[in-house]
Amino acid sequence: MDVAGEISNARKCDLCERVTKHGTTEHHLIPRMCHRNKWFKKNFTREEMQTTISVCRDCHRAIHDLAPNEKELGRRFNSLEKLREHPLLAAYLEWVRKQK
């Protein structure tokens, strides 16, 4: 598993499914700042908290810009499917998939 933020070149973004020339970065589905929180420790295993997805830089930025609350990200948007269902991210993904 890549360390958070490490770049892996020539990978397809798990979120928008584009291949970008800058590769992807790893996004923790449960933000690292939540890993010490009692609620998260009680509700998720260590493996679940370490789970990441490979996303392009644009999508990684969009996740944190459009859903800036880390605890909400960890509680409500902790899977690829749930991220795609986020109202603002869904609109962003529809737009970004049309871009080069």
Domain ranges of the chain: 25-96
Give the span between the Cα atoms of 82 and 22, in whole angstroms.
25
In sequence order, the 6+-apart residues with CB closer than 8 A to the CB of 37 are 71
Residue 57, exposed/middle/buried by CB under 10 A (0-12, 13-18, 19+)?
A: middle
Confidence tier at 10 by pLDDT (50, 70, 90): low
Nearest alpha-carbon partner for 74 in 24, 47, 39: 39
Place of tokens 């996740």: 63
pLDDT tens figures, 61-100: 999 999 989 999 999 999 999 999 999 999 999 999 888 6
| pLDDT for the residue numbered 2 | 46
pLDDT tens figures, 22-34: 889 999 999 999 9
Give the span between the Cα atoms of 16 and 57, in whole angstroms.
11
Residue 27 in tokens: 């996004």
Per the model's pLDDT, the better-predicted residue between 88 and 21 turns out to be 88
